[in-house]
Chains A and B, each alone.
Chain A
Amino acid sequence: EAQVTQNPRYLITVTGKKLTVTCSQNMNHEYMSWYRQDPGLGLRQIYYSMNVEVTDKGDVPEGYKVSRKEKRNFPLILESPSPNQTSLYFCASSWGGHLNTEAFFGQGTRLTVV
């Protein structure tokens, strides 16, 4: 089954404690991205990756890091989480480039930073 898998689904952490949210896709998609969803603000892109070892900032990258060492995985790293990073996070993948195709989303990770 084609899917994007995120883990964990729920996470409560304390300010400053490094954490990683994992994302994996099994569709051989080149393009992967991370979004955060906040009430009234929609889905805002944090980082994206066009292929292995190619990443770039989205609209709200401050406080986040990513890596793309393998095509299927695109982890989101919060080196020193702060309360303003409390949000619902989604990973997504698509064929990308000029193809303009459907983005497949993971199940979401609800993060609370206290």
Chain B
Amino acid sequence: GENVEQHPSTLSVQEGDSAVIKCTYSDSASNYFPWYKQELGKRPQLIIDIRSNVGEKKDQRIAVTLNKTAKHFSLHITETQPEDSAVYFCAASSLRDFGNEKLTFGTGTRLTIIP
């Protein structure tokens, strides 16, 4: 089955600097890669996703890049702000038997923005 590894597990950056979180996946058939943000005590929520036919996607201060050959994808947050402090999860979606998708999550990165 799919295996998703996420690094680093914790990350502290100065407010205004950039943060990068990296994930690798094992199943070359995976074709959908979402990123979820979980604030303290809250539920995970989708912040950005990318499909396998695209190499990069941006949404304001957030961008995701995908390298299918190397099987890794990354989340980039620029001009970080205190409200970016949260746990971030990457995920990869692969197909199970009978065509149904399966979402496998990484172990999470706790991002702390230092004012």
Is A90 part of the binding interface, using a Cβ–Cβ cutoff of 8 Å?
Answer: yes
* Number of A interface residues in the complex (CB < 8 A): 24
* Number of B interface residues in the complex (CB < 8 A): 28
Is A106 part of the binding interface, using a Cβ–Cβ cutoff of 8 Å?
Answer: yes
Q: Which of A43, A50, A100, A106 contacts B105 (CB 8 A)?
A: A43
Contact A105 B100 (CB under 8 A): no
In the complex with contacts A96-B100, A100-B101, A40-B9 CB distance below 8 A: yes
Tell me what chain B mostly uses at the interface: helix, strand, loop, or mixed: strand
B106 neighbours in A (Cβ, 8 Å): 42
* Shortest beta-carbon distance from B46 to chain A in Å: 5
Residues of A bordering B, CB below 8 Å: 31, 33, 35, 40-45, 48, 50, 59, 90, 96-100, 102-103, 105-108
In whole angstroms, what is the CA distance A98 to B101 when docked?
Answer: 6
Q: Mark B61-79, 1 if CB is under 8 A from A, else 0.
A: 0000000000000000000
* Shortest beta-carbon distance from A23 to chain B in Å: 12
Is B107 part of the binding interface, using a Cβ–Cβ cutoff of 8 Å?
Answer: yes
* Shortest beta-carbon distance from A27 to chain B in Å: 14
Residues of B bordering A, CB below 8 Å: 1, 6, 9, 31-32, 34, 36, 42-46, 49, 51, 89, 93, 95, 98-108
Q: Other than the known A100-B93, A106-B43, what 5 A-B pairs have Cβ atoms closer than 8 Å?
A: A31-B100, A42-B6, A98-B101, A100-B51, A108-B43
In whole angstroms, what is the CA distance A98 to B99 when docked?
Answer: 7
Contact A43 B89 (CB under 8 A): yes
Contact A41 B100 (CB under 8 A): no
Q: Which of B6, B9, B46, B95 contacts A103 (CB 8 A)?
A: B46
A59 neighbours in B (Cβ, 8 Å): 1
Contact B101 A97 (CB under 8 A): yes
* Shortest beta-carbon distance from B37 to chain A in Å: 11
Most buried by B among A33, A48, A106: A48
In whole angstroms, what is the CA distance A100 to B107 when docked?
Answer: 20
